[in-house]
Amino acid sequence: AYVWPDPQYETLEGMFYEGTSFHGNQFAAFVANCAQRDDRNTTVAAEWVRLAYHDMATFNITDGTGGVDASIYYELDREENIGDGMIRTMGELSLTSNKYISRADVIAMAATWSVAACKGPILPFRGGRQDVFVAGRKGVPEPQQELKEHVESFRLQGFNATEMIALIACGHTLGGVREEDFPTIVPTNNQPSNRRLDTFDSTPQFDSAIAIEYIAGTTRNPLVVNSNQTILSDLRIFSSDKNVTMNRQVSGLKDPNTFSQTCSTLLTRMIDTVRKGVTLTEPIVPIPFKLSQQRFMFIGGELAFSTQFRILNTLNDQTGSRKRTVRLFWCDRRGANANCADGTANVAVTVAGNGLPSFGASIDGGVTAPTFAVGSPVSQALNMTMTFYTVTVSVAFERSVGKFWFSITEEGSPNSTVQDNDGTGYVAVDDEIVYLPVGFKGGPTIQVGPLTTDPDKSPFPIYIAAGIHSSMKVDSASIRAFDSTFSVRTLSAKQLAPPKALFNETFPLSENTSLPSFVGYNFYSAEVTNGLGFSQITADFKANVTDVSTGNKKTVGLDFVLAIDPQSVGTTLPPPLATISTVNLTSARNGTKLGSDAMISALPLREGTVYALLGLLGGLIYAV
Ligand code: HEM
């Protein structure tokens, strides 16, 4: 089960349930509510699911190569991958992967969202797929092939003849065939503004209509009913066992429950098909209380500590105007009261305020208004919403922040919940090295903004900077810059430049005296060249330092920092600072007698709700 800190799990969980990339791209919205693709008679979800299948189709069970590995992006010029939907999908998924979520994980996640968005089952999602940056073997079945070729294709992909029938039905419950992609299956209607697209069944949803209509003989599936006999692949395949898999009493695919369960199993196997040696994570279940971010930063001439956490809610919770008071507690990191030695903790006090969004936190000069997130199609299907809170406090390096924890008080409730990482507290990241949110390019002047017209070519280096505290002598320092995103600049597969391979390089950090020292920090910067487009770069900072007063050597670092921070380009303001006071440590630890509130340490009601939600995830149990 998940234990903090686990950056890969946290990053996967965030994207899967929040529906947003690390950089804030809300790309799950493309498939939300089983959205139609433009004004065409198919859905975005159908296109995303097809791409996932075609990516998996390179798997070869004989030697364990291929599978879901994002090789599809290097295979789109092949006849077997023809389709406008493929290029659209590639564009929509292109700017979303990162150090912890591979392109292939994004493809698998996109398929999971798609099925949920169209009211299909919620597939358990695992991460950890590894990308390749070249084409894989050919292996996608085509409609003009004979049955025995199809059986062989699916065998190599790891599915027997019965599973083949079901997997195709599970795919072809969505979408259809386009005249521009397959004119021999769907001849043109000669209406350029309303091009022909014949769907596999009569509903856009992920449902058993594909099987019901097939058995009833009412189907319009162009791969079943067509004047062109060569391409009737669905007919040949669905009838290959005398329709037993489709038609069986109760357990045939025409039964909605059988359809849902069979597809859940087979589609999960499909997205979890990875090459030999790759291990996937455990299924990603929602983290009920999540420390989503923390960092030191410079605000208003001071060092500051800023942390964000997320609370899960249910949809019903949104109706009232629920307010919450949240508190951040922490022990000093250094000095006389390090580790709360004198029996007191610091607290950023917030009290119930007014004029708040109908659903959110109470604010008193320190807790920013909650950002309300709808979440991904999977969270929507689970009736789950999230609220984010950011608390920011000004601190001096001489004391700084060591361990920290939170309490949450619902309006009108006498009880507070303490969130302290199961008693151990959260540990603040290194403060000897502090990222300076200024990603800039070009010579001596600091510039931000669009980097180049061609996003795959960056003639300018960018500079990534960090402050290192002067109580440390820097022996060596570097950053590792990472970007696996790519750009798609054309809608034609034939002209499509294959995406760049990932960018993952180390650059030295050297002292940059053009950035004046500040609250005890000297600045170091790295010149990053040859990036893909730079906008999605994250950086890991590492410095080997010697403590000037003790002579002790150590390594300090920061993981997975957004290199071009929105704050640096002026799109977000620094968070407001909270008022700080001191509180008795025992009270702070158990959430009792804080200020004028009488509070008892108790588990909140919502915890139960969350566990109930987790139960819905295919019977997965969240072990505490
Ligand atoms: C013998 C095996 C298969 C054949 C011959 C086949 C053939 C096709 C063809 C010709 C199209 C039309 C694409 C277009 O016009 O752009 C299509 C669409 C589609 N296929 Fe398959 N398919 C097969 C198996 C599968 C499987 C196993 C899945 C997924 C589990 C799948 C999912 C889809 C989806 C979702 C679409 C609709 C895409 C859209 O509307 O844009 N197919 N298939």
Atom of ligand 1 nearest to the CA of 182: 15
| Dihedral in degrees, nearest 10, Cα atoms 201, 204, 207, 211 | 0
The reply to whether ligand 1 has any atom less than 6 angstroms from the CB of 167 is: yes
The residue to mutate among 87, 155, 168, having the most atoms of ligand 1 within 8 angstroms of its beta carbon, is: 168
The reply to whether ligand 1 has any atom less than 6 angstroms from the CB of 232 is: no
The reply to whether ligand 1 has any atom less than 6 angstroms from the CB of 49 is: yes
Mean pLDDT, contiguous 10-residue spans, the chain (624 residues)? 96 94 86 95 98 98 98 94 92 93 98 98 98 96 98 98 98 97 96 95 98 97 97 98 92 94 98 98 95 87 86 59 76 96 86 30 42 78 81 92 90 82 96 79 40 51 86 97 82 66 92 86 85 73 97 97 57 68 87 42 25 26 20
Which residue's CA lies nearest to atom 16 of ligand 1? Answer: 83
Cα 566 from chain centre: 18
Give just the sign of the alpha carbon dihedral 8, 14, 17, 19. negative
What pLDDT score does 191 carry?
94
**Tokens 């292109």 -> residue:** 94
Measured in residues, the chain has a length of 624
What pLDDT score does 623 carry?
21
> Could you please report the per-residue DSSP string of 522-557?
EEEEEEE-S-SSSTT-EEEEEEEEEETTT--EEEEE
Atom of ligand 1 nearest to the CA of 175: 40
> Could you please report the per-residue DSSP string of 213-251?
HHHHT----TTTS-S-GGG-HHHHHHTTTTTHHHH-TTT
Dist CA 199 CA 220 (whole Å) = 7
Which residue's CA lies nearest to atom 40 of ligand 1? Answer: 175
Per the structure block, which two tokens stand in for 197? Answer: 């697209």
What pLDDT score does 319 carry?
36
Report CA-CA distances (Å) from 299 to 92, 100, 436.
35, 29, 11
**At residue 104, what are phi and psi to the nearest 5 degrees?**
-70, -35
Q: Which of 571, 573, 505 is nearest to 539 (CA)?
A: 505
What pLDDT score does 475 carry?
98
The residue to mutate among 34, 47, 53, having the most atoms of ligand 1 within 8 angstroms of its beta carbon, is: 53
What pLDDT score does 413 carry?
74
Dist CA 224 CA 227 (whole Å) = 10
Which residue's CA lies nearest to atom 12 of ligand 1? Answer: 177
Q: Under a CB-based contact definition with an 8 Å cutoff, are residues 524 and 509 in contact?
A: yes
Which residue's CA lies nearest to atom 20 of ligand 1? Answer: 50
Paired residues of 197 in beta bridges: 178
**Ligand 1 centroid – CA 76 distance (Å):** 15
**At residue 87, what are phi and psi to the nearest 5 degrees?**
-70, -40
What pLDDT score does 340 carry?
96
**What region does 514 belong to: left with phi over 0, alpha with psi -120 to 50, or beta?**
alpha
**Collapsed DSSP state (helix, strand, coil) of residue 355:** coil
What pLDDT score does 463 carry?
76
pTM: 0.90
Q: Which of 165, 109, 175 is nearest to 141 (CA)?
A: 165
